Amino acid sequence: MQTTATLVATDETDRLIAADKVVGTSVYNLRSEHLGSIYSLMVDKISGQVAYAVMSFGGFLGIGESYHPLPWRVLKYDLRMGGYVVDLDRRRLEGAPSYSASSLPDWSDREYGHRIDDYYGVPPYGI
Amino acid sequence: MQTTATLVATDETDRLIAADKVVGTSVYNLRSEHLGSIYSLMVDKISGQVAYAVMSFGGFLGIGESYHPLPWRVLKYDLRMGGYVVDLDRRRLEGAPSYSASSLPDWSDREYGHRIDDYYGVPPYGI
C-alpha cells in the first residue's frame, strides 16, 4: 500500500509544473537528438489549454535563433529524458513553420495556427 | 460576411496568449473589485492543461505578499475587464488556501491540490 501511495505521489510531483519552469525544457527527437528547448507556451485564455509550445532552435545567445511553434499534442513528456520527445527528424524540423525574432507571427491570424497543425498532421486547434 | 470574419479573427486574437503574458493579468471579483494578479500557472506536464493559477495578493514589492492557488476552472476571462473574474469576495479569499514566499507548498502532495479544489467546490483535479 505504501509503495502504491509513493508511486502516486511521484507521479503527481512530475505532473504539475510552473509554466515558467517548462520554459527552457529540452526537446528531443525519437533518436534522443537534442532539437532545441521550449521558449514559450501559447495558452488558450478561455480553456487554459496549452495550444502550442514554441521551441527555440539554433543560434547563439539569441542571435540567429529560430522559433518553431509545435502543437502541444505532438510533444510527449519523457520522464527518463527529463524533457519532451517529438517524432521529428532535423530535416523535417527545418521545413516546419518557424519565425525569427525579427519576423514575429500574427497569432490572431487563425490560418497561422492551422498551417502549424497541418504540418504536424494534427486536427486544427480551436475548431 | 466580412463582419463575421472580423469577429472570429478578434476572438482568435484574444484567445491565445503567451503564458508569460498571462502572468500579471488582473483578477477581479463579481463586484469588479481588484483581488490580485496572476503570479504563475501550474501546468499539467502531460495534458498541457493549466490546473491552477496562482494569484498574488496584497503586499508591496513582493514583501508581505500572499499567494492563492485558484483552480483554473473558477477563473473566467472577461474581455470587457481585460482580466479574469472569479466569484469570490475578499472575506472568502482571506480564508482560502494560501502561502507566503517563505512557506512554499508541496505540489507533490496531492492532498494540497485537493484542499484547493475542495475550498472552491470544484471536482478534484487529476482524478
| A72, burial (CB in 10 Å: exposed 0-12, middle 13-18, buried 19+) | buried
pTM more than 0.90: no
Higher pLDDT residue, B45 or B18? B18
Q: If pLDDT is split at 50, 70 and 90, which confidence band does B115 have? A: very high
Q: What is the C-alpha separation between B33 and B123, in angstroms, rounded?
A: 26
**DSSP readout, B2-37?**
HHHHHHHHHHHHTTEEEHHHHTT-EEE-TT--EEEE
Name the stretches of chain A with pLDDT < 50.
1-12
**pLDDT exceeds cutoff 90 at B55:** yes
Instruction: Please state whether beta strands A83-86 and A26-29 pair in parallel, antiparallel, or not at all (unpaired).
Output: parallel
Contacts of A42 (CB under 8 A, 6+ apart): A50, A51, A52, A53, A54, A69, A107, B16, B17, B18, B19
Residue in A2, A107, A65, A88 with CA at minimum distance from that of residue B12 = A107
**pLDDT exceeds cutoff 90 at B127:** no
Grid cell for residue A59: 543560434
User: Chain B contacts of A9, Cβ < 8 Å?
Assistant: 108-110
**What residue has cell string 475587464?**
B81
User: From the CA atom positions of chain B, what is the Rg in Å?
Assistant: 16
Q: Could you give the C-alpha distances from B73 to A17, A123, B49, B56, in angstroms and in order?
A: 17, 24, 11, 18
Contact check, Cβ <8 Å, B107/A16: yes
Nearest chain B Cα to A127, which residue?
A: B12
* Among the ranges given (A32-36, A115-119, B30-34, B79-83), the one the predictor scored with the smallest mean pLDDT: B79-83
Minimum distance, in Å, between the CA of residue A103 and any CA atom of chain B: 16
Contacts of A11 (CB under 8 A, 6+ apart): none
User: Chain A contacts of B12, Cβ < 8 Å?
Assistant: 107-110, 113, 126
Listed by number, the residues of chain A in 1-60 with a beta carbon closer than 8 Å to a beta carbon of chain B are 8-10, 12-20, 22-23, 40-53
Listed by number, the residues of chain A in 86-115 with a beta carbon closer than 8 Å to a beta carbon of chain B are 107-110, 113
Contacts of B1 (CB under 8 A, 6+ apart): none
Are A75 and A27 contacting, i.e. CB atoms less than 8 angstroms apart?
yes
Task: Check residue A96 and give its pLDDT.
Answer: 92
